[in-house]
Structure 1
Amino acid sequence: MSEFPCFKCGRCCQLVSTAQETKVLDRGDGACRHYDDETKLCLIYENRPDICRVDKQFSLNYAKEYDWETFVDINIKACEYIQREGS
């Protein structure tokens, strides 16, 4: 399985309040409490929750529906969408 090609834009980390699974990470403004606004990176990346791990979510929830490449394509489209909407 190849590594997920993250754009490191930080948009998904700025929108944790929009999904039931990630609302618990909201620091009060919709962004993750572990998100660094300056660097646009995760402050606990190596120890981030499973919900933030694309490969882990694939294995746990999507491997029976999609192959890895299809799952990555779907997620890249979602990434591109939230990047455009945030501009």
Structure 2
Amino acid sequence: MIWMASSIHRKLKIALTSKEEAADAFRALDKGLPANWKRQLAKQERKAMKEREGNPEAMDVYEIQLASAPSMKSIELAMLSGSPLKASS
């Protein structure tokens, strides 16, 4: 039982630290966006939240596309062959 409390305490500390790091990253991202873009994104969000019950496709505004980083093996092969690397989807 004592170990469980220690584990929970450790996980709480990690979660709080991670929360602060995420908040800092969000603030930096938010600070870098132009004001007109922020307004446009807020407008899209309000519309999606308003229409989400009747039209689930309205939530597509939250879809993001992230290209994954190449693997170490891909990097090695590209370096050996001399060809440029591309991120994969």
Shared fold (TM-score, shorter chain, > 0.5): no
Comparing both structures, which one devotes a greater share of its residues to helix? 2
Comparing both structures, which one devotes a greater share of its residues to strand? 1
User: Structure with the greater relative contact order (CA < 8 A, sep ≥ 6): 1 or 2?
Assistant: 1
Work out which of the two has the higher radius of gyration on C-alpha atoms and give 1 or 2: 2
Q: TM-score, normalised by structure 2?
A: 0.24
Q: TM-score, normalised by structure 1?
A: 0.25
